[in-house]
Structure 1
Amino acid sequence: MTQKHKVVWWAFLLPLAAILIWSLNMTVNRYVADYISPVSISFYRWILALLILTPFVLPQVIRSWSNIRPHLGKLAVLSAFGMVLYQGLAYTSAHYTTATNMGLINAFIPVFTIIVGIFVLHVRPAITAIIGSFLSICGLMYVMAQGQWGHLLNFSNTYIGDVLMLIAVFFYACYGIFLKKWQLQMPLIQSLYIQVCFSILLHIPMILWTGLDPINSQNASSIVYAGIFPSIAAPFLWMLAVQLLGPNRSSIFMNLMPVFTALIAYLWLGESWTVYHTIGGIVILFGIFLAQYTPKLKV
């Protein structure tokens, strides 16, 4: 085995680690929901990320400011989609639904990316993408209905949480599409840093409205985890994976998130994996596979 093959082999651990971190964060979201408000944990998370990144990235930002400044408006929009709306709605969703459901719904990002891309990038999806998207939607509705279609008419807390998570996933799909549409010519770490700065600014009006919960022994560890691992470590590992393996090969690992999340939620929170999760999950993942790993976009 050559050195090149060894590098490629170990590179497969990068997206795997990133997905594991994000999956654990889904369970952390559910765990900490009883101890801190969604706005508070989201704000603390990005404050911690900013404090960690600043010594390393701020000097780069200062040197590259003339190149960054024209992109500030777009970076603010990206921050609103990916760091404020997506994260905030995900934390809110955790107050009503299970981490298992959140993981399954989060796997829906590729399908929403196709749908949003039709309107923003003006592309025409292949027939396989249309069929795959339809299958995924059916699977998702089956999970939200808890295996009984009549439950869709009952606005239970779990149903409300699932809908909020679905809206959150829509905003994250918007984040990815606009990131692709604009293709900002700047280092990814600098883009991440500026988006973190904007996320803190965008949180201030909400904090003035709702107030800020104090950090205590019950929520401190969750804040530290959220501020370091899913905010910094996972995106860094993912960027390396895309660099070494390519975006298509890396994106395959996204399908492991519902499995990892369900397993962690079972071991940590005692959540159950039911028959409707199995049936709906298989349909969702098959639809995503069909939509994502075939020629899906046609100009």
Structure 2
Amino acid sequence: MNFSLRSSAFIGGFCALAATIIWSGNFVIARGLVDGVPPISLAFWRWTLAILVFLPFALKPMLRAWQPIRIHLGYLTLTALCGVTLFNTLIYIASHSTSAINLSLIAITFPIFVILLARFYWHERITRPKAIGVGLVIIGVINLVTQGKPSQLLSVEFAQGDIWMLAAAICFALYSVMVKRKPAALGAWAFQLITFIIGWVLLLPFYLWEASNTHFQIHEADLSILAAIAYVGVAASLLAFVLWGHAIALLGPTTPAIIYYSLPIFSGLAAYLFLGETLGSIHLLSASLILAGVILAIYRKDQAQR
């Protein structure tokens, strides 16, 4: 592997890890907003803020790329639907009707869907190190969410929210695979802004429907809710998606998906720091398994050939 390939791998890995860390904070904040903000409203206002912040920087690149945007409008619409309109909205809806253990278990299926979709669309090989790494990560995450008692899996009862969470995992896997097909004529900023806008437009009628049936108003929200929306709108929506798209452009969809498996580690750390939750030996063991699996899955000789 030459210096350029090593540099690309490092930058791509850093971007995927940074996006994962940001999203771990998003999960912690979202749990705290379950009773304060309706799910579609939370998704709508986060994307509204993301667009407003991104617009001054990406409007000109988007306008310059208007011709390829028109040509690839179908692809952009489907990508925006999966990654912007549906993904986080479904997570917020799911959090209202299922348990934390179920959400965590279903969330780990996302990289599996990415690997399968990448195999189907891009013919990426599922190497032995990758398979072993994924296995270690799954064991680590299951150990984490069951507190070292995997037998709890036998007593899990799936609620309606589990279906929403599974749909969210599939949507984000589709988004991650489709980002790899981004037309070369579309720059990263133009691509992100137009998908944000299209996804926001597709979400708008659902927001209006929810708003007509609830009493939540953004101008009446307290400062803590406004600060939380600012985080999910700027960091978890804008910054994390830009980082994630850059990671996929450099590494393909599979390796960032493996790195995403480390999300429970950062979510647990954030819960410890900000929510006062304790970290025990189960968390340390699970973190070790997850990190070992991620390293094994992404550090392989054929990385430079992809």
TM-score of Structure 1 vs Structure 2, range by shorter chain: 0.7 to 0.9
Aligned partner of 1:267 in structure 2 is 273
Pairing 1:142-291 to 2, within 5 Å after superposition:
142-146=143-147, 147-155=149-157, 164-165=164-165, 167-211=167-211, 213-215=216-218, 216-217=221-222, 218-236=224-242, 247=251, 251=256, 254=260, 257-273=263-279, 275-291=281-297
Change (3 A) 1:47 1:142: same
Aligned partner of 1:4 in structure 2 is none
Pairing 1:135-146 to 2, within 5 Å after superposition:
135-146=136-147
Unpaired segments of 5 or more residues in structure 2? 1-6
CA deviation string 1:87-133 (max 9, x = no partner): 112223444445x9968876765443212212232333222323333
| Contact kept in structure 2, 1:127 and 1:296, CA below 8 Å | no
Q: SS of the counterpart of 1:116?
A: helix
Q: SS of the counterpart of 1:223?
A: helix
- Counterpart CA distance in 1 for 2:302 and 2:290 is 17
Q: Under a length normalisation based on structure 2, what TM-score does the superposition of the two structures give?
A: 0.74
Aligned partner of 1:41 in structure 2 is 42
- Counterpart CA distance in 2 for 1:41 and 1:181 is 29
Aligned partner of 1:3 in structure 2 is none
Aligned partner of 2:51 in structure 1 is 50
CA deviation string 1:68-90 (max 9, x = no partner): 11111111111122122221122
Change (3 A) 1:106 1:184: farther
Unpaired segments of 5 or more residues in structure 1? 1-6
Q: SS of the counterpart of 2:157?
A: coil
Once structures 1 and 2 are overlaid, which stretch shifts more, 287-296 or 195-204? 287-296
CA deviation string 1:30-88 (max 9, x = no partner): 11122112111100111112222233323332332112111111111111221222211
Change (3 A) 1:296 1:130: farther
- Counterpart CA distance in 2 for 1:237 and 1:137 is 24
* CA deviation after TM superposition for structure 1 residue 275, in Å: 4.9
| Contact kept in structure 1, 2:111 and 2:260, CA below 8 Å | no
In the comparison of the two structures, how many residue pairs are matched?
A: 286
- Counterpart CA distance in 1 for 2:295 and 2:14 is 21
| Contact kept in structure 2, 1:47 and 1:200, CA below 8 Å | yes
Q: Under a length normalisation based on structure 1, what TM-score does the superposition of the two structures give?
A: 0.76
| Contact kept in structure 1, 2:51 and 2:196, CA below 8 Å | yes
CA deviation string 1:11-38 (max 9, x = no partner): 7987665444332222111111221121
* CA deviation after TM superposition for structure 1 residue 224, in Å: 1.6
| Contact kept in structure 1, 2:46 and 2:230, CA below 8 Å | yes
Same amino acid, percent of matched pairs:
31
CA deviation string 1:146-204 (max 9, x = no partner): 424244333277xx767754543332222111221454531111111111111112213
* CA deviation after TM superposition for structure 1 residue 273, in Å: 3.7
| Contact kept in structure 2, 1:35 and 1:219, CA below 8 Å | yes
| Contact kept in structure 2, 1:86 and 1:171, CA below 8 Å | yes
- Counterpart CA distance in 2 for 1:28 and 1:196 is 21
